[in-house]
Every structure is written in C-alpha cells, then in structure tokens.
C-alpha cells in the first residue's frame, strides 16, 4: 500500500510539479491564468460591435472624486497672479521647507539648479535656458504667478501639476523658492 501511495505521489509530482522546460508550455490546471484575455483600447470598431468599447468616454461635466478643477487658463497669468493666495505664505518652518525642498530637488533643480540660479545639470543643453529663480524678473513675481507657472507651465516649461499633485506641496515649493531668494539677496 505504501508503494502504491508513493508511486501515486511521484506521478502527481512529476505531472504537475515539474516545469515543462524551455520552449514548452506548463501544464495549466486553471485556464487563462498565464495567458489572459486582454482588451486593447484601439481594438474598438463601431461597425463590428458598437456596444463593445474598451475605453468609454465619461459623460459630459463629470469629474473624478476628489478632483478640484484649476480655475485659470494658460492665458490668465495676470488674473492668477492677482487672485491666488498662498495658504502657507510666510511659513518658513522646518517642515514646510523640507517638503518644498524635497519636491524642488526632484522636479525643479534639474533645470533651475539646486540653488535656483538657473544653472541646473541640463540647463546648458536647453535651447531656452531656464531663468534664475533667485534674481532678475522672477524676484518680482507674486506667489500666485509662480504657482500658476508650476501648475500649467510657462514658456517652454511644461505643467508640473501631475508630478507635484497636491496643491499644498506646490505652495511649499514656492515657500522654498522664496527662502532661496532671501538667502541669495
């Protein structure tokens, strides 16, 4: 009896436990686990099956949960500059500056430099060099204007609202920039 159980056990192990080896598929007990049926967004053909769409367009005027639309357009720089107020304005505590520095070093320092002088590692390779954040015209910018530039982009700089998702983190970056400006001047 022990021999029969042993042979049965070895047969099961051999059948299901061993890999099939290179260039051969394994024994699949549950189908579609390794090779799943996938839906490609580009596969939709309204002439073949109009009801089957991989990607559906959401109904008009719907927004995701927790989404707060940005009220200004790219051309409304002056309006944003006047109306946007930094909820962290004047807060130069260690926590706010550390958060701003973290995001600045990840997203901004590559172009503007770690000190904000506009001489980051990639600045020399850019067609339009980034401006210094610690001198020149940027010194006169309001916090709202800088926030608007980070959120929507400005000139050749693209939007950083996807990289710095929380508005409070963008305001912390602005506090960090203001702190760099104080140190430089």
Domains of the chain and any CATH numbers: 77-184 (1.10.760.10)
Specify burial of residue 110 (Cβ count, 10 A radius: 0-12, 13-18, 19+): middle
pLDDT tier at 168, thresholds 50, 70, 90: very high
- The pLDDT assigned to 50 comes to 65
pLDDT tier at 16, thresholds 50, 70, 90: low
- Cα torsion 135, 138, 92, 71 to 10°: value is -170
Please state, as a whole number, how many other Cβ atoms lie within 10 Å of the Cβ of residue 166. Answer: 11
Q: Please name the helix (run of DSSP H) or strand (run of DSSP E) that holds residue 178, with its range, or none.
A: helix 167-184
CA distance 166 to 39: 32
Structure tokens at 68: 């707060």
- The pLDDT assigned to 179 comes to 94
**Could you give the C-alpha distances from 10 to 13, 16, 25, 27, in angstroms and in order?**
5, 10, 21, 16
- On the question of pLDDT at 129 being above 70, the answer is yes
Q: What is the mean pLDDT of residues 134-143?
A: 92
- On the question of pLDDT at 77 being above 90, the answer is yes
- The pLDDT assigned to 7 comes to 79
- Greater pLDDT, 182 or 6: 182
Nearest to 175 by CA among 152, 183, 154: 183
Q: What is the mean pLDDT of residues 57-68?
A: 82
What are the beta bridge partners of residue 69?
none
- Greater pLDDT, 13 or 73: 73
Q: Percentage of residues in the chain with pLDDT exceeding 90?
A: 58
DSSP 139: G
Q: Phi, psi at residue 140, to the nearest 5°?
A: -85, -5
- The pLDDT assigned to 9 comes to 77
Query: Given the structure tokens 């009801």, which residue do they identify?
Result: 51
pLDDT tier at 53, thresholds 50, 70, 90: low
Q: What is the mean pLDDT of residues 125-143?
A: 93
Is the pTM above the cut of 0.95? no
């Amino acid at each position: 009896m022990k021999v029969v159980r042993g042979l049965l056990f070895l047969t099961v192990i051999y059948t299901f436990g061993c890999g099939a080896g290179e260039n051969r598929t394994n024994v699949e007990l549950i189908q579609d686990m390794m090779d799943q049926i996938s839906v490609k967004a580009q596969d939709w053909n309204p002439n073949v099956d109009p009801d089957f769409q991989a990607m559906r367009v959401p109904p008009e005027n719907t927004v995701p949960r927790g989404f707060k639309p940005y009220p200004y357009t790219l051309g409304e720089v002056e309006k944003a500059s006047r109306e946007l107020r930094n909820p962290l304005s004047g807060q130069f505590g260690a926590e706010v500056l550390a958060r701003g520095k973290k995001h600045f070093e990840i997203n901004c320092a590559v172009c503007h430099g770690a000190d904000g002088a506009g001489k980051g590692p990639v600045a020399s390779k850019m067609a339009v060099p980034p401006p210094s954040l610690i001198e020149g015209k940027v010194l006169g910018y309001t916090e709202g204007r800088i926030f608007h530039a980070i959120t929507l982009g400005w000139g050749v700089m693209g939007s950083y609202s996807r990289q710095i998702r929380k508005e409070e983190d963008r305001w912390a970056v602005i506090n960090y920039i203001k702190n760099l400006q104080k140190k430089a001047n």
